[in-house]
């Protein structure tokens, strides 16, 4: 800090004029350093800084268009199968994550039972409209009932948050999710099932076989039957929910949620009924999840217990965290990455592009200053060519292999990476060496890191081409997804759209 | 008439009596200081008044209505707002949002109304913003203009204290409880706090109950001073009466100093 005292406007001095909204020059007597520091923080450096600045200049409706516009074009340029796998599932995830974001990101309540509301929505819709139950309610009746009931269930679960916070709330809500899964697995009116008051034993959920023959959504006689129809329906719903959430976030309710996340005691002392707002967050999240459940149930024309388990919960949490806790737009990008990346990686050509892309990106982002990154990349290329030339001259079997269906990138790589005719054993050892080299990398500093990094990168591509690429639809896909997430979270620790939160200063 | 009244208020933490049959009143338009050594129970008294703790016995009345037993947000809605000794701002919210968040209690727009941007919600939003600007303007340029949209954590310590006071003002309270408003400030800033508290009463019509360790501030602002030690009220009166009271000197400086002073 500067040695000049912060306040030159002592009690005896006249009050200086109020500064205009935009600071246009240095002013003594204001926290100029802090003010500028803040500006530096907001804009940031490098590529991410530029993107953040451009993004912040776009007005909110424009941001929604940028995020969801590409989704609106997607159904007209792709097949039904791809639309389902990439498109529909992604926006269903995004919608689910939006609801979870309110509970976790806005109100700061660690709710691990969230997926149960999603399942509850699907099952309840199935009970009201399916061949299994024999009732066929129209969507305009069934959907509001589902949303209201799920919100009510959210309220009941939310009651636990009056006295429990953090880890304790997480455990109780997780228990709720497990209880839900066990319930739907058993509520088939079988021997072990309850006998309900008045009605006796009823087959509610179909047990482990699931509740089948759920009706398509039927709004005022208009049946949604195609994937494209569901896709557009969900997309519109997502746009609406995001818009409404944006307005809520700007309102007294949104402020109160964020205040209670920051400091519940201070929020309570500043006239916010904290307990009521926690319930409201739970209800909002649960309502969105229940609504999404009706879509998912109708799309699958069934509800199955395995779909609403911890695996999905982790996926949705990954989306929210990756997108940035408390960021409305982030969940869309998060869903795109978490759902899209593993699907894309099923083909080895795509996986290859992503693999090298992640490597280059990681080097560019992690190496400072920038010329070091260029040295590493250029060095790796030269190193590879040299190794390839030497091996080709001395041990011809070492370059005999081929890359199948790799396109231009594959043909180029054949002249660079070693492809032994029978790579199994040597690739196994190389994998082991790669892990050792990566560990060494975490220890060395400065130019040594550059020196070690070049052969490590080459080794990584060697292992990739000779070992990992074969199992691309299995384990490799998940390893690669994990690596991608690690890189992203390293570049943007608070999520792609998140702002870093300051805990104590 | 007494705006705030504590009658025989007692609070125990386990076997420890923190506040002991305390009688205290604050009249409308008065500035009352609470002094006492560390651990005397001053902040506990604030926590009791604002509903964070409930008294084990006795009664707290505000505007002649019982407020002890109510949850903190209802007490704030009745017109008692506080600041915290260890600052408790909403650090990751902007300066403006910090103040606007405190207007929750006296606004009505529901979540659905703001979702659909219905007229009442929008009108209310404009009103809250104007209110927040008005409260922040009380602190001159320190929290004005370009500061509005900066996160609270970017503020200096003194400005954070000011923002806490602005936030308490935005609750539409009549009585402000200030917990060590001059703690951690330099002499210049301390002097300013003294003036600020006087202005809060004279220009903004607040009644003020303040805990303060800095005797210059206490001397400068107080209509009346209450001294606490071990949860007991040991002296009450004008600053000079309390400052020369033997029990007060004993509490601060020990038995011998008290005997020498007499």
Q: Domains (ranges, CATH) in chain A?
A: 58-345 (1.10.3470), 349-472 (no CATH)
Predicted pLDDT of residue A43: 52
pLDDT band at A44 (very low <50, low <70, confident <90, very high): low
Which range (A80-84, A217-221, A412-416) has the least confidence?
A80-84
- Cβ proximity of A23 and A35 under 8 Å: yes
Question: Across the interface, do A255 and B104 touch by the CB < 8 Å criterion?
Answer: yes
Q: Which of B97, B160, B159 is nearest to B133 (CA)?
A: B97
Interface check A39 vs B, CB under 8 A? no
Interface check A393 vs B, CB under 8 A? no
| In the predicted structure, residue A266 carries a pLDDT above the cut 90 | yes
pLDDT in single tens digits along all 262 residues of chain B? 689 999 999 999 988 999 999 999 999 999 999 999 988 999 999 999 999 999 999 999 999 999 999 999 999 999 999 999 989 999 999 999 999 999 999 998 888 999 999 999 999 999 999 999 999 999 888 888 788 888 898 888 889 999 999 999 999 999 999 999 998 888 888 999 999 999 999 999 999 999 998 898 999 999 999 999 999 999 999 999 999 999 998 888 887 777 776 6
Predicted pLDDT of residue A3: 47
Which range (A38-42, A59-63, A107-111, A380-384) has the least confidence?
A38-42
| Unique residue bearing structure tokens 């309840």 | A124
CA distance A243 to chain B (A): 8
Q: Which of B174, B171, B204 is nearest to B103 (CA)?
A: B171
Q: Could you read off the pLDDT of B24-58 as tens digits, one per residue?
A: 999 999 999 999 998 899 999 999 999 999 999 99
Hey, CA dihedral for A365, A366, A368, A370, is it positive or negative?
negative
Question: Across the interface, do B154 and A37 touch by the CB < 8 Å criterion?
Answer: yes
Q: What is the mean pLDDT of residues A33-49?
A: 56
Higher pLDDT, B131 or A161: B131
Predicted pLDDT of residue A456: 93
pTM listed for this prediction: 0.83
Complex confidence, ipTM: 0.92
B31 half-sphere exposure, CB direction, 13 A CA radius: 24
User: Under CATH, to which class is B2-79+173-261 assigned?
Assistant: alpha beta
Higher pLDDT, B182 or A422: B182
SS3 label, residue A30: coil
Q: Which of A492, A435, A493 is nearest to A463 (CA)?
A: A435
Question: Across the interface, do A502 and B103 touch by the CB < 8 Å criterion?
Answer: no
Chain A hits for B121, CB-CB cut-off 8 Å, are 251
Chain B hits for A247, CB-CB cut-off 8 Å, are 114-117
pLDDT band at A247 (very low <50, low <70, confident <90, very high): very high
Q: What is the mean pLDDT of residues A212-223?
A: 90
* A349 CB neighbour count, 10 Å cutoff: 16
| Unique residue bearing structure tokens 């199992």 | A471
| Unique residue bearing structure tokens 């703001």 | B114
Q: Which of B117, B140, B150 comes nearest A38 by C-beta?
A: B150
Between CA A264 and CA B239 the distance in angstroms is: 36
- Domain locations along chain B: 2-79+173-261, 91-156
Q: Could you read off the pLDDT of A473-496 as tens digits, one per residue?
A: 777 778 778 877 887 787 777 888
Chain A hits for B104, CB-CB cut-off 8 Å, are 252, 255-256, 270-272
Predicted pLDDT of residue A317: 93
CA distance A189 to chain B (A): 39
Chain B hits for A24, CB-CB cut-off 8 Å, are none
């Amino acid at each position: 800090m500067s040695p000049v005292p912060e306040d030159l406007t002592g009690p005896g001095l006249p009050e200086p004029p109020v500064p205009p909204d935009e600071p246009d020059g240095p002013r003594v007597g204001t926290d100029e350093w802090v003010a500028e520091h803040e500006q530096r923080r907001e804009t940031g450096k490098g590529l991410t800084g530029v993107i953040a600045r451009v993004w912040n200049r776009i007005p909110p409706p424009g941001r929604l268009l940028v995020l969801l516009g590409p989704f609106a074009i997607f159904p007209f340029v792709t097949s039904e199968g791809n639309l389902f796998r990439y498109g529909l599932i992604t926006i269903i995830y995004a919608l689910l994550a939006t609801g979870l974001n309110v509970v976790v990101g806005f109100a700061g309540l660690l709710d691990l039972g969230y997926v149960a509301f999603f399942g509850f929505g699907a099952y309840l819709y199935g009970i009201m409209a399916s061949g299994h139950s024999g009732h066929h309610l129209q969507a305009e009746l069934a959907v509001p009932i589902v949303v209201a009931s799920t919100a009510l269930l959210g309220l009941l679960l939310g009651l636990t948050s009056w006295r429990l916070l953090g880890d304790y709330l997480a455990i109780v809500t997780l228990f709720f999710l497990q209880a839900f899964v066990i319930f739907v697995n058993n509520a088939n009116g079988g021997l072990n099932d309850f006998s309900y008051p008045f009605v006796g034993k009823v087959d509610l959920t179909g047990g482990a076989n699931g509740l089948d023959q759920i009706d398509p959504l039927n709004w005022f006689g208009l049946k949604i039957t195609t994937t494209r129809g569901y896709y557009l329906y969900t997309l519109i719903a997502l746009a609406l929910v995001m818009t409404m959430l944006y307005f809520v976030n700007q309102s007294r309710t949104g402020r109160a949620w964020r205040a209670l996340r920051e400091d519940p005691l201070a929020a309570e002392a500043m006239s916010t009924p904290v307990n009521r707002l926690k319930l409201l967050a739970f209800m909002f999240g649960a309502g969105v999840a229940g609504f999404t459940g009706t879509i998912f149930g109708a799309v699958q024309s069934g509800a199955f217990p395995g779909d609403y388990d911890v695996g999905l919960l982790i996926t949705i949490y990954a989306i929210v965290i990756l997108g940035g806790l408390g960021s409305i737009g982030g969940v869309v990008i998060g869903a795109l990455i978490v759902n899209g990346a593993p699907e894309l990686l099923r083909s080895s050509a795509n996986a290859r592009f992503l693999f090298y892309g992640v490597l280059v990106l990681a080097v560019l982002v992690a190496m400072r200053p920038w010329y070091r990154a260029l040295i590493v990349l250029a060095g790796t290329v030269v190193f590879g060519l040299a190794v390839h030339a030497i091996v080709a001259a001395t041990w011809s079997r070492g370059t005999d292999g081929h890359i199948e269906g790799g396109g231009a990138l594959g043909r180029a790589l054949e002249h660079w990476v070693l492809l032994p005719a029978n790579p199994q054993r040597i690739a196994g050892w190389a994998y082991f060496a790669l892990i050792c080299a990566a560990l060494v990398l975490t220890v060395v500093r400065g130019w040594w890191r550059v020196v070690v990094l070049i052969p490590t990168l080459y080794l990584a591509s060697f292992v990739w081409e000779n070992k990992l690429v074969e199992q691309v639809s299995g384990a490799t896909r998940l390893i690669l997804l994990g690596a991608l997430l690690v890189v992203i979270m390293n570049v943007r620790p608070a999520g792609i759209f998140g702002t870093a939160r300051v805990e104590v200063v | 008439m007494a705006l705030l009244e504590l009658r025989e208020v007692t609070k125990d933490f386990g076997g420890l009596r923190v506040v002991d049959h305390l009688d205290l009143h604050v009249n409308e338009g008065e500035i009352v200081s609470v002094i006492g050594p560390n651990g005397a129970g001053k902040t506990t008294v604030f926590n009791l008044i604002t509903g964070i703790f409930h008294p084990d016995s006795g009664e707290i009345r505000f505007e002649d209505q019982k407020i002890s037993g109510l949850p903190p947000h209802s007490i704030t809605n009745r017109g008692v707002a506080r600041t915290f000794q260890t600052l408790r701002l909403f650090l990751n919210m902007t300066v403006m949002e910090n103040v606007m968040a405190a207007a929750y209690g006296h606004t009505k727009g529901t979540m659905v109304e703001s979702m659909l941007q219905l007229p009442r919600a929008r009108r209310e939003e404009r009103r809250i913003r104007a209110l927040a600007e008005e409260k922040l303007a009380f602190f001159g340029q320190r929290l004005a203009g370009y500061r509005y949209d900066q996160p609270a954590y970017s503020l200096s310590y003194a400005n954070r204290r000011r923002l806490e006071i602005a936030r308490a003002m935005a609750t539409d309270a009549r009585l402000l409880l200030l917990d060590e408003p001059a703690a951690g400030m330099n002499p210049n800033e301390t002097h300013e706090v003294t003036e600020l508290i006087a202005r809060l009463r004279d220009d903004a019509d607040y009644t003020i109950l303040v805990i303060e360790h800095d005797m210059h501030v206490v001397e400068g602002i107080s209509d009346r001073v209450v001294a606490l030690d071990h949860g007991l009220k040991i002296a009450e009166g004008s600053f000079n009466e309390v400052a020369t009271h033997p029990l007060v000197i004993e509490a601060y400086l020990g038995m011998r100093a008290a005997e020498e002073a007499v």
